[in-house]
Amino acid sequence: MGNGLRLEAIPPCSSHTTRRVATPVCHAIPHAFHSYPSQQAHVLSSLRLGRQLASPGFVADLPLPPHCTLGWDMVSVPSSGTHRGQVMKVEAIGMSSCLGPGVTACAAFRAGIVRHQPSEEVTTFSPGDSEAQPVNVCAIPGITLGFSGVGRLVAIAEDSLEDLGAKTSLTALGREAGIFLALPDFSAPEDAPRTRAATQEALGRQVLERALATHRVSWSEDRWRFFTGGSAGFALALVAARRELERRAFDVVVVGGIDSLVAPEHLRFLLAERRLKTADNPVGLLPGEAGALLVLRARAPGGAGGRSPQVEVTAVHTAVEPRSQGPGAMPDGGALATCVREVLGASPEQDAAFIWDLNGEQRRAWEWGSTLVRLKSHAPSLGDAPAWVPATGFGDVGAASGAVGACIAVRAFERRYAPARQLVVVSQSDSGERAAFALAVGAPSREGGPA
């Protein structure tokens, strides 16, 4: 294929990892897959990476741009640490999900509305069943119909940009904004960091270029940054975006995540590993797909400005869970508790609520419970703090989960139904990354009215 990249699915080759990066031919591990020894002999069919979109030249191959900058996100962003520094105010959100665009989706989630549907390609048999039972997914209606792989990611990105464009000018963002986007991870664990970064760069550029072309806008490509890290990828993007704002490389940034776990190949693999929620497996996940984007700007030293209430991202902390790897490994909540404590600060009295990254699987629930025990010893009020679980409405949306959680928090503050003064979004990636970031309402503005 020359200097192109082609994504194909092969069995994972190490224990419990979900990275997705590539060599000149990239072997893709579906995002949320655990790697157990039984998977070594499991062969998946090659992933179709999208239908032809707006231009005849769009194919499944991912050409590596000649100006590709290798390793920016994979090398310069640390795997752990607290990042307070610059407070970032939220100016706009855009979203694409099974529950609709941002405002509608957050209202539907608050109301407890669900919109899952049976997969058209995948079914399952439970013991004693005489007929096949459906495998439910939280697919985005309409806009992703007929697309798969990269083509599906492009459709989700385009829909997210359309929602964002209803609130702010996409053309103006293209002139001044840095783009920090978390995407699915297509890597083998033995791939070198530069190889991972090259593939992620190629995938990200393919997705973003096609989505922007649909809106007939152009954003400067030297401002684009792409990230892996599973559900913690959005927090890693936040860390990088904050640093660029602090050094004044950008005045405004767009930070987001896009992912889809509903491809038939993904579903069959998850089904074979008993990770899907089915009639005979109540502790499985419900696959979903989503895209979410936030426009963030550095807050001026004098306080919040613009509309009131002004929602801000106040702190981000990332870490790595050492007990996440290996068959049967059960994280003890130490890394996740550290993330939460660092973003909340040392006060024993905390007025906070959580947006948890639970997806129905036992491992995450175990870690969540262990984390709560640790947090309660630090601040007793945290043990009984209110908690929301986006997966109950959106399904497991992989790399988009942090961004979706952030949008839910923003709307809760804007509509004044947040149950606490701080909302902490928590991320538990299958590949070991852990993250938490806090949102709160900044100082009251003298201008503007209620949201």
pLDDT tens string 8-42: 333 333 333 433 333 222 323 333 333 333 332 22
Query: Do β-strands 88-96 and 311-320 pair in parallel, antiparallel, or remain unpaired?
Result: antiparallel
What are the residues whose beta carbons fall under 8 Å from the beta carbon of 170, sequence distance 6 or more?
161, 164, 212, 215, 217
What are the residues whose beta carbons fall under 8 Å from the beta carbon of 171, sequence distance 6 or more?
217
pLDDT value for 347? 64
- Start-end of H helices in 262-317: 264-272
Q: Other CB atoms closer than 10 Å to residue 361's CB: what's the count?
A: 21
pLDDT value for 49? 31
**Tens-digit pLDDT profile for residues 321-341:** 988 766 677 889 999 999 999
Q: Is the pLDDT of residue 97 over 60?
A: yes
Could you tell me which residue, 308 or 211, shows the higher pLDDT? Answer: 211
The pLDDT > 90 percentage for the chain reads: 56
pLDDT value for 306? 52
State the Cα–Cα distance between residues 386 and 274, nearest whole angstrom: 30
pLDDT value for 309? 80
pLDDT value for 448? 40
At residue 205, what is the residue type?
A: R
**Tens-digit pLDDT profile for residues 230-263:** 999 999 999 999 999 999 999 999 999 999 999 9
pLDDT value for 348? 64
- Start-end of H helices in 111-215: 149-165, 170-176, 193-214
Mean pLDDT of 110-139: 88
- Rounded to 5 degrees, φ, ψ at 5 are -120, 135
